[in-house]
Structure 1
Amino acid sequence: MSTPFTADAIEAIKRHMNDDHAEDALIIVRAFGGRPEATSAVTSDVDAEAIEFTVDGGERVRVPWGEPINERAQVRKAVVRLYREACGKLGVPARGEH
């Protein structure tokens, strides 16, 4: 697991995901993390290859970006893409598409 991000950047990404996008993380985990019955997902790490979640308070699940990410600005786009694809896979409306 390589990371182009500083420790501070990783902490900021995790904090933003956990404070503002916890429900989105759960949808991503249900669709792409192999845990369709998960009840909680906390963003626990991010690197060039994947975003990692702690699911239901224990198991760590990595969801690949699909392509390596080299800049912090790419994380947002990658998360939005994963979220939208996960909504489509699960058949749930994405925010703003209700």
Structure 2
Amino acid sequence: MSTPFTADAVEAIKRHMNDDHADDSLLIVRALGGRPEAASAVTSDVDAEAIEFTVDGGERVRVPWGETLTERAQVRKAVVRLYQDACAKLGLPARGEH
């Protein structure tokens, strides 16, 4: 698991996801992380290959970006794409870009 992101950047991304997009994280885990019955998902790590969630307080689930990220600016678009893919898979309407 390599990362082009500094530790501070990873912490900022995790904080933003957990503070502002907790529901989106849960949708991603349910649809793309293979945990359709998950009750909670907390963003626990981010690297070049995937975003990682702690599911239901214990299990760690990695959801690949689908491409290798090389800079922090790519994370937002990658998360939006995962969210939109999750909504499509679950048959839910996606909000506009966050």
Q: 2 CA distance for matches of 1:95 and 1:67?
A: 23
SS at match of 1:66: coil
Query: By how many angstroms is 1:93 displaced?
Result: 1.2
Q: Report the identity percentage.
A: 86
Q: 2 CA distance for matches of 1:39 and 1:80?
A: 21
Once the two structures are superposed, residues 38-59 of structure 1 have per-residue CA deviations (whole angstroms, 9 ceiling, x without a partner) of: 0100000000000000000000
SS at match of 2:54: strand
**For residues 8-27 of structure 1, what are the structure 2 equivalents within 5 Å?**
8-27=8-27
Partner letter of residue 13 of structure 1?
Answer: I
Q: Which residue of 1 aligns with 2:83?
A: 83
The alignment of Structure 1 onto Structure 2 pairs a total of residues equal to 96
Q: 1 CA distance for matches of 2:23 and 2:95?
A: 10
**TM-score (ref. length: structure 2):** 0.96
Partner letter of residue 36 of structure 1?
Answer: P
Partner letter of residue 58 of structure 1?
Answer: G
Query: By how many angstroms is 1:37 displaced?
Result: 0.5
Unaligned runs of 5+ in 2: none
Query: By how many angstroms is 1:95 displaced?
Result: 2.1
Partner letter of residue 60 of structure 2?
Answer: R
Q: 1 CA distance for matches of 2:70 and 2:29?
A: 22
- C-alpha RMSD of matched pairs (Å): 0.6
Q: Which residue of 1 aligns with 2:39?
A: 39
Q: 1 CA distance for matches of 2:70 and 2:42?
A: 23
SS at match of 1:71: coil
2:59 is the counterpart of 1:59: yes
